[in-house]
Copies of this chain bind each other. A is one copy, B any other.
């Protein structure tokens, strides 16, 4: 069984995270890597959605996953068991990742040898939205049980989204969730962001999502060239 590599991230000392995030994007362009930042509440299904997504993406390119958590290593274990290069990041109690923490993590996973690196950010619908990680794509997941009103309460997170995923649609019958209302709420924050309905449990909707991501990755790599 492959050993889980755990990296203790150091808090950044840089004052200007936004400038550093732009710098990181330039570095990523240099090495032709697309960095995707996945954000959601705890328990929305980030790990299982990423797993499904990587199963598709790795048919086309080399993909690695960074698993950020305050503690634990279960998600990295899951990725490694599926044969996906993955590194566990411990944030030392911190509620988010910034650009320099991302840089430390990307170095550890040897991002120069990968086409796509997916970051599973700390489960938190508030703070990660305030810190640009340097990612070219911000993907926000909301699960059906959380409710269709969440963009009203956590607007910054949805404002930062390039793409929004509704997970656990297989549980739609049990919960009072209106996809139409949710899409309206998202549109007020992020009018450009498409909304994909998926079930990481059954795999429903994953192909459409991974095709969209694949297209964006191609566009970014072509733009970089």
Q: Which residues of A contact B (CB under 8 A)?
A: 41-44, 69-72, 74, 93, 95, 122-127, 130, 142-147, 149-150, 152-156, 168, 170-171, 174-175
Tell me the number of copies of this protein: 2
Known: A72-B149, A127-B127, A144-B145; 6 extra A-B contacts, CB below 8 A, are A43-B145, A44-B146, A70-B156, A71-B152, A123-B153, A174-B174
- Chain B residues near A124 (CB, 8 Å)? 95, 124-127
Q: Complex: how many Å from CA A130 to CA B154? A: 20
A27 to chain B, nearest CB (A): 28
Residue of B nearest to A142 (CB): B43
Question: Which residue in B126, B156, B168 is a CB contact (below 8 Å) of A145?
Answer: B168
Question: Which residue in B74, B95, B154, B175 is a CB contact (below 8 Å) of A70?
Answer: B154
Looking at chain A's contact residues, the main secondary structure is loop
**4 tightest A-B contacts by CB?**
A43-B146, A145-B145, A95-B126, A72-B152
- Chain B residues near A152 (CB, 8 Å)? 71-72, 74
- Chain B residues near A156 (CB, 8 Å)? 70, 93
- Chain B residues near A127 (CB, 8 Å)? 95, 124, 126-127
A201 to chain B, nearest CB (A): 9
- Chain B residues near A74 (CB, 8 Å)? 149, 152-153
Among A41, A130, A149, A168, which residue has the most Cβ atoms of chain B within 10 A?
A: A41
